[in-house]
Amino acid sequence: MSEDDIERLAELLRSLPPAPAAWVRAAKELPQTRKELDEIVVRAEQDAEFRRALFADLESSLAAAGYVSDPTMLRALRERLSQLQ
């Protein structure tokens, strides 16, 4: 193998370092996150008081209901809830 080949392979290998472990872990947990999103939306559809609380202060009302939210979940939930308005 020539020096150029080695450099090229090395460059390509270096091009894909691992993504941060915490990001990968969160991505793997997305099915569970999605399940919680569905639960929240269903409850918001059925419970007017919960729905009002979500629209008033999303993060606080989720925490009060026992959900641990993250920015991805909040963005997805805002999008889903906007369809209820």
Which of 26, 32, 51 minimizes the C-alpha distance to 41? 51
Which of 23, 59, 64, 84 is in the footprint of another protein by CB under 8 A?
23
Structure tokens at 23: 């990001």
Q: Can you give the C-alpha Rg of the chain in angstroms?
A: 21
Residue 48 beta carbon to another protein: minimum distance, rounded to whole angstroms: 27
**According to the binding rule CB under 8 A, does residue 68 interact with another protein?**
no
Complex with another protein: residue 17 or 66, whichever CB lies closer: 17
Which lies closer to another protein via its Cβ, residue 25 or residue 48?
25
| Shortest Cβ 74–another protein spacing (Å) | 10
Question: Do residues 9 and 53 make contact, with C-beta atoms less than 8 angstroms apart?
Answer: no
